[in-house]
Amino acid sequence: MSARVLVVDDISANRKLLQAKLSHEYFEVITASNGQEAIDMAREQRPDIILLDVMMPVMDGFEACQILKTDQDTQHIPVVMVTALGDRDHRLKGLLAGADDFLTKPVDDFALMSRIRALTKFKLVMDELRSREANGRRIGVIEGEEPGGPIEPARVLIIDDNERQARRIALSLKQEHRPILWSEARNLAAKEKAGIDLIVLSLASDSFDPLRLCAHFKSQLATRDLPVLIVADFEEEAKALRALDLGASDIIMRPIDTEELSARVRTQVRKKRYLDAVRRRLDESMELAITDQLTGLYNRRHMNKQLNQFLQRANSGGEPVSVFIADIDHFKSVNDTYGHDVGDEVLREFAERMRENVRPADIPCRQGGEEFVVIMPDTTGDMASVVAERLRRHVASQTFAVERGRNQLDVTVSLGVSTSYGSDCTIDDLLKRADEALYEAKQSGRNQVKSRAA
């Protein structure tokens, strides 16, 4: 997995050394010599990862990182701070500035590549989701501000078979989050469904293989998107870096500094919440693309796609598919007498009654105007007529409250049912027969159900 890496260091020899190491692993490398140059290049070149030295003239790494993480164009680029200073104050200052990770000079090759590959995986997911969101915004199905705001308390699952160590971690996180001990959950399935935001996994556990458990979480659909924070002793560094290769998101070394732990947890939770929000907005945009905005039913485009799939199966010897077309009687007079706002109220109320009176497997759609179609997979004509008749009776038996309940309208509906049989039925055939049955219902006095076989 390759990536474009921006290496920032005021010492030419350091830049060249990192460039040589990364180029050997087929990464594309660009360089900058100070913080301001790094910001300019990040905005222009849009790298996938930034390796940012701390001590530099003009602008140090902390200030540059803070600017990068508050700029909408660069805030999603992972930043790894590279420093010869290993004390906690600099780590905390970097984490608070938004840094995603740290490397200490002289940079270990294995640590360098493991961290870059782990962050590159995250960046690829982020880029894909942001690209899809941008497309949704461009065509108008996604609106509003980007996800953001304060971080709500997270549910943090702590996995450590040393109860004392686990409780110490839980105590340090309790003020900001809701920690859950592994020993308190009944079984793995319960843990996977508990709405966990982050897993803190200790490599010092003896009763299970932590790396295998990390791999399990990353292979399961329910948990693969959960960030995993590895807790390791310094002599376990190689094992911790292996965890990064397996999909872990971050590492913290013992003895654990509580402020550093809080900062790293906060960073991982913020990333997860952002990705969750983007995914949720994309799901909503997909719903909008197939949904009629007035009634909330499926639109004509989705109706044709679903019908095509069910007809292909029916024409190949599968169970028949039925449809019925429902048309609100005298709907034009409602619009003419009360106005289109009231007409829209009637359409929305009718759509709600349709949802309530079809079966769970049926697919209610708005074809256009006052015409609605319900697709009924694996359904005979007789059963489709029963469902259509149930809807007709329900609509006719209760008046429609409009204009905030000030008026009550008597509404009826005519319905035409059609069923697919044979091996060459098309969408046009099925809908034409249903439309003919609907026309017969209208001609026979309205407020009734008629059926045809296709």
Could you state, in chain order, the average pLDDT of each consecutive group of 10 residues for the chain (454 residues)?
88 93 92 95 95 91 94 91 75 84 84 84 82 66 56 88 92 92 64 74 92 94 91 90 90 89 89 85 75 92 92 91 96 93 95 94 94 95 95 95 87 96 86 95 95 74
Q: Is residue 305 part of a domain?
A: yes
Residue 370 annotated in active site: yes
Q: Is residue 39 part of a domain?
A: yes
> Do 180 and 249 belong together in one domain?
yes
> Do 193 and 229 belong together in one domain?
yes
> Do 196 and 337 belong together in one domain?
no
> Do 317 and 268 belong together in one domain?
no
| Separate counts of helices (H) and strands (E) for the chain | 15, 17
Catalytic choice (163, 349, 370, 389): 370
> Do 217 and 346 belong together in one domain?
no
243: domain CATH number? Answer: 3.40.50.2300
Q: Is residue 294 part of a domain?
A: no
- Structural domain including 130 reads 4-139
Q: Is residue 147 part of a domain?
A: no
pLDDT of residue 191: 47
pLDDT of residue 111: 79
> Do 57 and 187 belong together in one domain?
no
> Do 187 and 256 belong together in one domain?
yes
Q: What's the sign of the alpha-carbon dihedral 76, 77, 80, 81?
A: negative
- C-alpha pair distances (Å), 440 with each of 364, 368, 416, 448: 22, 20, 8, 9
> Do 394 and 439 belong together in one domain?
yes
pLDDT of residue 80: 92
Q: Label residue 427 exposed, middle or buried (CB < 10 Å: 0-12, 13-18, 19+).
A: middle
Q: Is residue 306 part of a domain?
A: yes
334: domain CATH number? Answer: 3.30.70.270
Tell me how many domains the chain contains.
Answer: 3
Q: Is residue 290 part of a domain?
A: no
- C-alpha pair distances (Å), 92 with each of 35, 86, 99, 257, 384: 19, 11, 9, 10, 66
- C-alpha pair distances (Å), 105 with each of 111, 112, 233, 243, 273: 11, 11, 19, 22, 32
Q: Is residue 395 part of a domain?
A: yes
User: Running DSSP on this structure, what letter comes out for residue 220?
Assistant: S
> Do 448 and 336 belong together in one domain?
yes
> Do 340 and 262 belong together in one domain?
no
